[in-house]
Amino acid sequence: MPENNNNDVVLRVKDLHVSFYTNQRCNNVLRGVSFDIRRGRTLCIVGESGCGKSVTANSILRLLPDLSRIESGSITYYKEDGTEVRLDQLEKNGKEMRSLRGKDIAIIFQDPMTALNPVYTVGHQIREIIKEHKPGLTKQQLKQESIQDLAEMGIPAAEIRDGEYPHQFSGGMRQRAMIAMGMSCEPKILLADEPTTALDVTISAQIFDLMNGLKRDHGTAIMMITHNMGVVAEMADEVAVMYMGNIVEYGKVEDVFANPTHPYTKALLRSIPVLGKGRNQQLEPIRGVTPDPFNRPKGCQFCPRCDYAGERCETEMPSEEWVKEGHYTRCFHFREVMKDGK
Amino acid sequence: MLNYIIRKLLSMIPMLLIITFLIYLGVELMPGDVMDFLIPMDQLAEMTPEQVDAFKAAKGLDGPMIVRYFNWLKDICKGDLGYSLQNNMPVGELMMQKLPATIELSLAALFISTVLGILLGVISALRKGRLSDNLLTIAGMIGVAIPQFLFGVFCIIIFCLNLKWFPVGQRGTGGLGDELHHLFLPAFVLGISMTAGVMRYSRSSMLDSMNRDYVKTARAKGLPEWKVNLFHGFRVACTPVMVLIGFRLPMLISGSIVIENIFQWPGVGRWFTDAVKTQNTPIIMSVGLFMVLLVLLSSLLVDIFTAVLDPRVKLS
Ligand SMILES: Nc1ncnc2c1ncn2[C@@H]1O[C@H](COP(=O)(O)OP(=O)(O)OP(=O)(O)O)[C@@H](O)[C@H]1O
Ligand SMILES: [Mg+2]
């Protein structure tokens, strides 16, 4: 992992291990995840369903359910005044953690249909977070702020919308309201967990524009989770490819797209259709199936589905190999993979 | 809203007619003859058939059942509940004497079961899987399953006769303290199965609500746990619980008949049992009408409650 502790880094996750304990069985969901989130940049985490993307985002805000545990590793938040906060060591719903939630780090969830409380007006739900972090505002001031937040996210007739209930909003409007809520206290970091999966393409594009605007105008650091390589190409500055609880490749988006060094990344890239190539282009699905999390391969998690797998891959998980400045991979055979090109 | 209420009230009328008719029919089909309860055996044996007929006619007991039912209906529409067959007292007046005791008992039971049921249910949900949750769950199962009269008798034996914490039966007369002292045990017994029901439902409703995404959103805003639980978890969970309570209101009313007899509570319930025993039709019909009205009104209440609590519901 990069050791340059330049002040762009606002959040550093290092060798994070998280397990879930369900039905007396232990599921090692995260198995040593490391990445940085930087000011004014977007990190995209991409990977197939169940690989641990949401768990990663929820660990940062300590929103994991009771049946899970952070086993080891660290999550460090670098405050603007230079102090460092070890989020993994804070009490889960304790005062310190709560003071950071919403104020310094905000999160947007996948499904805007269920993430808003149906019995309160959208305005009320935005004011709730402002009230929590900026006590002492009058009712009028609060109302003004919530209306302004909605208007900034491009919601027309914000004064009226402010007093409406979530069921009166369309999906895209709700997601805007969620972002308005997330941005209301001007957080340093915005975690977006598949913010557009539930929305159609044009609405998604608008939401992405909004997020890019935040990055540009407020210097917000964004971590965006997706399982869509197309979204990565559009949004990311850095990309982290995740497979079964490991980040198997991490780097600047242009480096990773130009020189994929992990067979899984390569497979993902091959599976996106390219515009203009016509309808006869060969889309190759990834061979084999995702392993059962309770019955994982011993060595490299991708080994059973990998064309490059050798003997060593079956017994040992590769550690992070340096490819070039800021580009890392977890593959013993990355040189071969690189040489073969895309 | 008003429109809805009026339409709903109008739609209750046919229901009322059918049910009251069925009650009338039920009384009619009861074994035995009313006359046996109105005139002592030996006198009845000496009366001529003409005398019996004249007596019946005077009490309005002659003629076919249909005719008598419609006569009763006509009187009701005029606000006349009729006269007790036993002592010729006006039923309306008697009702006014008995009603306060029953209302007091039912409201107390409703209060106990709502507050206690919701409180215990929410605690149980928040401490899911711990000892207190398990104990409450077992208590809830017992509470739902135990017959009220049995529980009432147990309570009287234990708390009134052995421990002497509460007086045995009757309504208190010596000021508020005494009244509450008399009221507590019968109200508690009357409310027990409802408490257990509300508790179990609150628990599952709360658990469901706490697993929803908006609770996670609330946490992600930095709200303290009590606000998350109360304003988000509980606020949404309470709508279905209120609906359950509304639908169970009739249970309190029918339960009060049993409880008033066990605790010698001078209310409508006991009066009703006595009336049934002596086939005192005007009283049976009046109390029956009153109960049916309450049942129908509580379903209206449920609708209004739901609309108030849940902005997604529109009454129309
Ligand atoms: N509440 C939970 N209880 C038990 N296991 C869980 C829970 N949440 C997540 N997991 C486990 O953690 C693993 C990763 O889940 P996670 O939700 O992070 O996947 P994801 O990458 O976000 O997938 P998706 O793209 O479908 O959202 C899964 O194998 C899942 O079984
Ligand atoms: Mg997810």
**Higher pLDDT, residue A200 or A180:** A180
pLDDT < 50 positions in chain B: none
* Residues whose beta carbons lie less than 5 angstroms from ion ligand 2: A 54
Q: Position A47: which residue type? A: G
Task: Using a CB–CB cutoff of 8 Å, tell me whether A1 touches chain B.
Answer: no
Segment A192-208 shows an average pLDDT of: 85
Task: Using a CB–CB cutoff of 8 Å, tell me whether B216 touches chain A.
Answer: yes
pLDDT in tens, A17-57: 999 998 888 899 999 999 999 999 999 999 988 899 999 99
Give the ipTM of the model, two decimals please.
0.87
Q: Which domains does chain A have, with CATH numbers?
A: 9-37+49-94+231-340 (3.40.50.300)
Q: Which of A111, A114, A128 sits opposite B223 (nearest CB)?
A: A128
CB A317 within 8 A of CB A300: yes
DSSP B180-248: HHHHHHHHHHHHHHHHHHHHHHHHHHHHHHHTSHHHHHHHHTT--HHHIIIIIIIHHHHHHHHHHHHHH
d(CA A281, ligand 1 centre) in Å: 33
d(CA A54, ligand 1 centre) in Å: 7
pLDDT in tens, A169-182: 998 899 989 999 99
Segment A75-86 shows an average pLDDT of: 92
pLDDT of A15 over the 90 cut: yes
Task: Using a CB–CB cutoff of 8 Å, tell me whether B212 touches chain A.
Answer: yes
Q: Which of B216, B221, B312 sits opposite A128 (nearest CB)?
A: B221
A109–B216 CB contact, under 8 Å:
yes
A63–B312 CB contact, under 8 Å:
no
**Whose CA is closest to atom 30 on ligand 1?**
A50
The CA distance from B238 to the nearest CA of chain A, in Å, is 11
**C-alpha pair distances (Å), B312 with each of A172, B216, B261:** 19, 21, 44
Q: Which of A50, A36, A124, A41 is nearest to A291 (CA)?
A: A50
pLDDT of A274 over the 70 cut: no
**pTM of the predicted protein model:** 0.84
A102–B216 CB contact, under 8 Å:
no
A248: phi then psi, degrees, rounded to nearest 5: -90, -20
Q: How confident is the model at residue A278, as a pLDDT?
A: 63
pLDDT of A98 over the 60 cut: yes
The ligand that comes nearest to the alpha carbon of residue A56 is 1
Task: Using a CB–CB cutoff of 8 Å, tell me whether A115 touches chain B.
Answer: yes
pLDDT of A7 over the 70 cut: no
A135: which chain B residues are within 8 Å (Cβ-Cβ)? Answer: none
pLDDT band at A203 (very low <50, low <70, confident <90, very high): confident
Range from A99-108, A326-335, B54-63, B208-217 carrying the lowest mean pLDDT: B54-63
A117–B232 CB contact, under 8 Å:
yes
Task: Using a CB–CB cutoff of 8 Å, tell me whether A324 touches chain B.
Answer: no
**Residue A45 β-bridge partners:** A225, A240
pLDDT in tens, B132-174: 999 999 999 998 898 888 999 999 899 888 888 888 877 877 7
d(CA A55, ligand 1 centre) in Å: 6
Sign of the four-CA dihedral B106, B111, B116, B119: positive
**Whose CA is closest to atom 24 on ligand 1?**
A49
Q: How confident is the model at residue A4, as a pLDDT?
A: 47
Q: How confident is the model at residue A1, as a pLDDT?
A: 45
Q: Which domains does chain B have, with CATH numbers?
A: 2-77 (no CATH), 98-309 (1.10.3720.10)
**C-alpha pair distances (Å), A88 with each of A66, A137, B35:** 15, 32, 85
Range from A30-39, A66-75, A104-113, B51-60 carrying the lowest mean pLDDT: B51-60
pLDDT band at A6 (very low <50, low <70, confident <90, very high): low
Burial class (CB in 10 A: 0-12, 13-18, 19+), A144: middle
pLDDT of A84 over the 80 cut: yes
Q: How confident is the model at residue A115, as a pLDDT?
A: 93
